[in-house]
A and B are shown apart, each in its own frame.
Chain A
């Protein structure tokens, strides 16, 4: 595949100017390949996977190619290149949601308030048991947990080493993908939220 990439501009360029043009061409070629990969890969495509397809390319060229594609698929474009769940993914522009939904004839996914609250708690406090979730919410949360498990937004990540060995829950990749998050770190911090809500600072948080 290496030959393929270099084949088009195989001659050695004598001048710096020409060398730069060469670089650009190369990046454009990589961008073209990555663009194809993005189309056929439904799931977010990691840089690592891209590098596997293009082993001879330097990381720098791949990064430049991705930047080129981000420009192309940005702004008002109907397709946007987004970084979610640790990888790159082509997604429709939210501005067109109504039309896409009508076209696909799908109903938007529904989550009850109970499920959303439970999901937020799991996202911030994982790994966490059902009892701990219910303590925070002050209500039975079994139904919400069941829904979230079925929707693959949370999963069992282990068992807590306490009497009864209850399940510990954590969020999934699907969670990041569903809520368009790069990683768990892209959630606003609880401190930020507390500040926004006007809670006093320095309240003894356990985490």
Chain B
């Protein structure tokens, strides 16, 4: 949650997001002119805060130290008379102006983020109907399809079971085709064909165990979101469509 007190500085020296945040706090707390920052004063206070942080054993990010060095540099340079001949060194006045610019820029975004946190936030202030992830539109197939239900799948399965003949085999046989094998087989086929038919798959089935393995593999793949199942008409054949490509396109 984006709590208000996360934005406020209830514990000022524990809660700075960075050197700019701390500097801004000093400018605003002391009601200083952000366009004309008194470097000596700000530097003194800035270092005091770092000292407190150190005393409290708070880890000081390196950015804080870089800023401290910059502040000290500006301060020392502005105290010294200017050497015209040293051209490559930065003008402290220019650095001070740059500091003002950065602070103002940062403050705008800090304020913008605060404004964002006060918006009605989905999941905190407002809620919507959760989208049914199972029911996504299928694009990129030219077959006119309606989605097949589990019942459709079961009745199609029954037909296959009738064909391979049920109830006759009682001998315990080693399951030659595991569900994982069946899934691998289906994935391989879908990679080359993208769309396959339930009847085609079942055509190759010879035993009850294989049929069951394929049936469960199809269910598993649908559950994983790797495939979607469709039917052109009631009691019609079921089409298995690979969703892999769509997932890749989206991400």
A contact residues vs B (CB 8 Å cutoff) = 39, 42-43, 80, 82, 89-94, 97, 100-101, 104, 106-114, 116-117, 119-121, 123-124, 136-140, 177-181, 187-188, 190, 193-194, 196-197, 199-200, 203-204
Contact = CB atoms under 8 A, between A and B. Distances in A.
A138 B63 contact: yes
B106 interface: yes
A139 B35 contact: no
Interface in B61-99: 61, 63, 67
Interface size class of B (residues with CB under 8 A): 35 or more
A139 B19 contact: yes
Interface string B110-123: 11111111011111
A187 B122 CA distance: 16
Interface of B: 1-2, 6-7, 17-21, 34-35, 61, 63, 67, 101-102, 104-117, 119-132
A197 B121 contact: no
Given A177-B122, A193-B108, A104 B17 contact: no
B125 A42 contact: no
B12 to A, nearest CB: 13
Nearest to A94: B125
Contacts of A138: 18-21, 63, 67, 102, 106
Nearest to A196: B111
Contacts of A110: 1-2
A101 B6 CA distance: 21
A203 B63 contact: no
